[in-house]
Structure 1
Amino acid sequence: MHNQIMHGIKANLNQIVQQLIQVFLVGLALGMTRTVVPGLAESEFGLAANAFMSLVMFVFVFGLVKASMNLVAGHLSEQYGRRRLLVVGWLLALPVPFLIYYAQSWSWIVWAMVFLGLNQGLCWSMALNSKLDLAKANQKGLINGLNEFSGYAAVGLAGWMTAYLAEVYGAREALLGFGLVVIGLGLVLAIWKVLDTRPWSNLHQRHYDNNQHNQSQNNQHHGDDGEKQTEQKQSLAQAFKIGTFQHKQLVALNQAGLVEKFIDALVWIFMPVYLISQTQTLVQASGIIAVYGVVWGASQLITGPASDKFGRRALIVGGFWLCAITSISFVWVDSMAAWSLLAAFMGFGMAMLYPTLGAAVADYSQPKQRASMLGVYRFWRDFGYAAGALLLGLLAFYTSSVVWPFYFVGAMMFLSGLWVYLALKPQKIV
């Protein structure tokens, strides 16, 4: 069977579709917590409207756990296989709907987010790494676009669906039923339909080694010092050191990953609170937030492949600066139409930068280290949930306002985009 292995979306369409279904279900599991859980904070658990530090705690914990799992997931998958970790990720999600349903206090919600973070770190990482294994080397942007479209369209849809179900059946009942269906389906499909893709990863490595051998014979010595350092078989600690401190481009991309999650933390924690404070209902607020998620998801079908064709830097930097403008502008308008339009532009900005950052990290990584280097990137990216939640919570606490977090995120997105602009050269994608 392994002799017949070929790379490419067309050649592996069935498995790529299975992996896209997996990430769609992972997105639904995340999305069900997006608007209903912040809404529960006050209605069910009596968190005062200005108890910002308690409110941000559930996103802080989620980000910390998911970031840690991302760091080790890629490395573990190179040892134990992608599929095995995918199944474990779904098993770890099973307590989430029960913890929310039976929650006696807000700390139960925080514990639910620990398990959700474990699930997201394992399942989302494995679904992406598997598709990168199956695809051709020049399809990385398209694969990242398809992956994030599937996941974040699901996040947006689940936020709206669970808000509607919460109004009909009650918040806890809605999340219990929705969560069990999604998690159960993900687990069953992972066991029965998904193949492990390490043989495809090994074939990528053989192609890479052959190309390196041919280049050395032709005396072609291109690439910077950071790239040369990744040529040796490296430990996870070495990969972390290179991606965090040594490789100029990877350092820029990793800080960008960290800061772009500030936008998502803002949308998750403060956008529902802000919109409800502006007399929007939970369903109206979730509808506006769903626009952000669905546009973000769908637009990546365009922006992912575009980065393969036109390069990464312009899309990343443009996306950061568009998000900066829309974040600041969001608190300057006061109609559902205007908020929805800005949410759409914010989603498109995220679509420009999100799959492109992951593809850019893959550009600077050897195939046999790609899962580990992407793991380092995904660690810093999802650590942005924790860092963003903490900083936004402190800012809201000390200003007693949900407006200042929007300004802060706008400023950070502008500066982060500037760093990427200065660090990355316009690059021919191969």
Structure 2
Amino acid sequence: MTSSAHPSGPRLGLRENAPQFALLVAVNALVGGMVGQQQTTLPLLAEQVFGLAGYSFVFAYVAVFGIAKAASNYVAGIFSDRYGRKPVLLAGWLFGLPVPLLIMWAPSWEWIILANLFLGINQGLAWSTTVTMKIDLVGPKQRGLAMGLNEAAGYLAVSVTSMAAGWIAAEHGLRPAPFLLGLAYAVIALVVVSLFVRETRGFVELEAAAPEPSQSRATGLSNAQIFTLVSWRDRALSSASLAGMANNLNFGLSWGVFPLLFAGAGLRLGQVGLLVALYPLVWGFGQLATGWLSDHLGRKPLVTAGMFLQAAALAVIAASHAMPGWAAGTMLLGLGSALVYPALLAVIGDVAAPEWRGRAVGIYRVWRDLGYTAGALLGGLVADAVGLSSAVWAAAGLSTAVGMVVAYRLFETHPGKRTAAA
């Protein structure tokens, strides 16, 4: 593995920074676990404990989570470029600590919504910052592999914790036992980040001086200029933002709709937990390969194929009426997300200059994580109007449309396989 270094300074590369990289992978697994603790349980908590009816109101917790996470991504990008990565990461975990406590003690659904506001801030600050720190450490040659490892850790933790929370809920009830997992994760993360994680901003200057700079050499850009580049002006960056938003729309839909769809068909809580966990399980394991694959085949083939595969998977889920079909659909959906996720983050790392990389990652994740809110709104409104299966069909159609847009607009950004932007 190649590296780049000043004579007496830090060195770029995965092997050269393996201890810190591995520590950040573990921290991101804890970030993912904070989401997993509630994926199986909250929709059922809404119906069985709080007696809520009306999908739009029930899914409000996903919408609030998405808005909070999107806004926090933006803040994380600005603050990590200005003040450093570690303070932002630590702040993210301080916001995560109250989440399981609020859910365990909630006397009303409004407390659950407040908990997800804090969870969104935790995810935006902590996950965005671990992404930026890993990109800082490895340099351009192994960016896809680094993002695959990062996202695999997060989503495997979502899956494992989701299954564990479902099992604990089946044995000990929906509250408080499943949420003790989240409390333990937050405490462990605060200790690890405070004592062992090191600042990575010093690696930025090293990469900026390297012989293979990022595709965009623009420097001295304002926050507004970077926002427009990532949002619509740059074809690669804006295509990544759109595909990321569609992917998380599907994830947000699965968070709210899938447990109710499966439980409504008479499946037991343990079976629901297994089906809900299959999606992030395949997503997580798949990224161990797809991040590396994007470094060898390029980013665009994986992103395009992943969006169309997600559309097909959602159609399978919507058309199925029993566990085998739903299991096949959720696993295909996980594979589609695995193809897309690390490649999209690698696109941002490829194109953004090191000087404004943190802000670019943050803005991309603003658009991507607004997908949670879009998924909650789509799922709630369509499900209330015409049923849960129809909400899944609607998401399948949107994924198909986004796949077509990405196939047209996204150009290859891998440093060794670049094509000129039209």
CA distance in 2, matches of 1:424, 1:167: 45
Give the aligned partner of residue 360 of structure 2: 373
8 Å Cα contact 1:309-1:429 kept in structure 2: no
* Partner residue, 1:429: 415
1:181-330 maps to which residues of 2 (within 5 A)?
A: 181-207=184-210, 227=216, 231-330=218-317
Q: CA deviation at 1:211?
A: 5.4
Instruction: Check if 1:364 corresponds to 2:367.
Output: no
**Contact 1:299 1:348 (8 Å CA) reproduced:** yes
Instruction: Report what 1:343 is aligned to.
Output: 330
Paired residue secondary structure (1:172): coil
Shift of the 211–312 alpha-carbon distance from structure 1 to 2, 3 Å rule, reads closer
Q: Kindly tell me: are residues 231 and 386 of structure 1, through their superposed partners in 2, closer, same or farther at Cα, counting changes over 3 Å? A: same
Paired with 2:43 and 2:22, the residues of 1 have a C-alpha distance of 33
* Structure 2: distance between partners of 1:281 and 1:237: 50
Give the drift of 1:396.
1.4
* 109-118 or 337-346: bigger deviation: 337-346
Residues 75-109 of structure 1, C-alpha deviations (whole Å, 9 max, x = no match): 10011111111111111111111111111111100
Unaligned stretches of 5+ residues in structure 1: 213-221
In structure 2, the residue corresponding to 1:403 is in which secondary structure? Answer: helix
> Cα deviations across residues 127-161 of structure 1 (Å, max 9, x unaligned)?
11111111021111001100110000100111110
**Residue number in structure 2 paired with 1:26:** 31
Aligned residues: 411
Report the residue type matching 2:238 in the other structure: V
- The answer as to 2:58 corresponding to 1:55 is yes
Q: Distance in 1 between matches of 2:10 and 2:79?
A: 23
One-letter amino acid of the counterpart of residue 390, structure 2:
W
Amino acid at match of 2:404: L
What letter matches 1:178 in structure 2? Answer: L
**Kept in 2: contact 1:308–1:429 (CA 8 A):** no
Deviation (angstroms), 1:339: 1.7
Task: Find the counterpart in structure 2 of residue 355 from structure 1.
Answer: 342
**Deviation at 1:248?**
2.1
Return the TM-score normalized by structure 2. Answer: 0.94
d(CA) in 2 for partners of 1:257, 1:377: 8
**Which residue type is aligned with residue 395 of structure 2?**
V
- CA change 1:211–1:17 in 2 (3 A) is closer
Q: In structure 2, which of residues 82, 90, 105 is the aligned counterpart of residue 79 of structure 1?
A: 82
> For the Cα contact (< 8 Å) 1:323–1:410, is it kept in 2?
yes
Letter in 2 for 1:38: P
- RMSD (Å), alpha carbons: 1.7
- 1:333 Cα deviation after fit: 2.2
The answer to whether 1:397 aligns with 2:384 is yes
Q: 3-state SS of the aligned residue for 1:11?
A: coil
Aligned counterpart, 2:111: 108
Q: Name the aligned partner's letter for residue 50 of structure 2.
A: F
2:133 counterpart of 1:130: yes
Among all aligned residue pairs of Structure 1 and Structure 2, give the percentage whose two residues are the same amino acid. Answer: 35
Counterpart check, 1:99 vs 2:102 = yes
Task: Give the Å deviation of 1:429.
Answer: 3.1
Name 1:154's counterpart in structure 2.
157
2:166 is equivalent to residue 180 of structure 1? no
- The answer as to whether partners of 2:350 and 2:413 remain within 8 angstroms in 1 is no
TM-score of the superposed pair, with normalisation by structure 1: 0.92
- Deviations along 1:212-232, whole A, 9 cap, x unmatched? 7xxxxxxxxx97xxx4xx603
In structure 2, what is the Cα distance between the partners aligned to 1:85 and 1:96?
Answer: 18
Local SS of the residue matching 2:110: helix
